[in-house]
Chains A and B, each alone.
Chain A
Amino acid sequence: MKEILLQGKEISKVFVGGGENVPILNRVNVRIFKGDFTVIMGASGAGKSTLLYSLSGMDDITGGRVEYKGRKINGLSEKETARLRANEFGFVFQQTHLVSNLTLYENILVAGYVGKCRPKEVRRKALALLAQMRVGEAKNRLPSQVSGGEAQRAAIARAVINDPGLIFADEPTGALNKAGSEEVLNLLSALSEAGQSILMVTHDVRAAVRGSRILYMEDGSIADELTLPAYRAADAKEREEKVTRWLSSLQW
C-alpha cells in the first residue's frame, strides 16, 4: 500500500466573472502518493493548473479540504504556509520565475536559507546542486544572462535545495526548446528515480511519459488515470505510444 502524501477531498474552485460563478474544479478527489511522479494532463481550461495550485496552497479553494501528510493545509496561517513552502514543497514554473537581480547561485541560496539547514550547509548543497544541474559555470550570472534551459535547471535546483517532500511543476518545459526540455525532463526523471515525489502539470505527451501515474482532467474533474511502470529511457517510445492511445481514447 502506497503512502498518501497529498490528498484533495471534494475540492471546489469557483471564479466569479461578469456577475456569474464559473466553476473550475468540481468537487475533485485526488491522492498523490509518496515517491510517485504524478502527471496531470488535460485540455486547455480543464482545470489542471488550478488543481495544482489549489493542492499546493498557492491558490485558495472555494470548498473542500487539502491534506499533506494527513494534516489539513488549506486555511493555515501565513507563517505556517510559508514554513510548509520552505520545508516541504518545491516549485518549478513554466516561466522560470527566478529573481532577476540575484545570480543563479543566490536564487538557490535564498530558498535554502529559509529552510531548516544552516547557511554553511545550504551553500555546500547549492554548489553541489548547481553542478548536478550542470549550471555550475553560470552560477554567478543573472537569470537574464543565461539560456532558458539553464535558468530552468537552476529553478529545479532551487526547488530541491530543502529536500522537499513534494515538487510541484507547472508546465516546466512550456517555455523551452526541444533540447532544453529534454534536459529538464531528464533531471526530473533522475530526481524521481532517487525517490523524489513530483506532481507535474503538462500538455506535452513527451513530458507526461516521464510520470508513473497520469491523471486526466476534463471540465474540472479527474476523468481517468493511467499508471505506468518506472521510466526508462529505452522504453520512451513505447510509453509515448501507450499514453497517446490512452489520451485518444479520452478524445484528447
Chain B
Amino acid sequence: MVHDAPAMATSAALPPVRRSWRPWLIRGVSLVVVLGTWEILGRRLDPVFLASPSAIVAAAYGLVVRSREFQNAIIESMTSMVTGYGLASGVGIMVGFSMGRWRTVELALDPYVTALYATPRVALIPLLILWFGIAFELRVAVVFLSSVFPIIINTIAGVKHVDEDLLETARAFAATQAQTLRTVILPSSLPFIFAGLRVGLAAGIIGVIVAEMTAAVSGLGALIMKFGNLFQTAQLFVPIVAIALISVLMTWAIKLLEQVLTPWHRPE
C-alpha cells in the first residue's frame, strides 16, 4: 500500500504484512490428515451413515454435470439469496443511518427492530408462506428478514460511534449537514456497516436454506431434504458443500469490497 517509504515514516507506519508459505503448508497438512482419516473411516462404515470424500466427489460430478435439477437448485438459491440480501443491505443501511442520526426515527422504529431481532426469524416462515407462497418470493422475504436486522443494528452503532471531535472539526470548517454526512459520518461508520453486512450474510444464507427445507419445493435446501429422505448420503453432501462454497465466496466478496472501501482500516 505504501510506496517508496522514506525512512522517517517507518517508526509510525503499520507493520508490513509478511507473506510466507508456512501457513499454507500447515493448512495443507491439516487438510490431508482430516480428509484422509475421513476417507478411511467412510470406506469402512455403512455408506448411508457416512459417505467418503471420494464418494462425495463422484456424486458431485454426477450431479453438477448431468443433473439439471442441481443446476437449477443452485441458480434458484443464489438468485433469491442475492435479491434478498441486496434488498436487506440497501434498506438496512438506510434505516440504520436514519435511526442513528435522528432520535425521532430511532424512538419510532426501535420497538419493532428490537422485537424482530430478538425473534428467531425462521419462526415466521409459516406465516410468510401464507403471505408469499412457497417459491421465490418466500425465499427473498426470509433472506431479507434474516439479514436486515444485523445490518440495521450495526449501522446504528457505527453512526453513533462517530468521534465527537471529528464532528466538531467538520463544524469548525463550516461543513453543511450533507457534507458532514458524506465526509465524516459515512466513512466513520463504514467498518461497522461491513461488520453488519458480514453477520447479515451468514444469517441470510441460513434463512434461504431453512426456507427451502421448510417449503421443500426447490433450491439447495429442498435437495438436502430430498437426498436425506432417500438415504442418498453421498449426494446429500453435495448441496451442503455447495452452500459452504457459496457462503465462503460471498464472504470473500464482502471482505474484498471492505478492503477497497476502507483502505485506512486494517483489522487484526
User: Do A and B come from the same complex?
Assistant: no
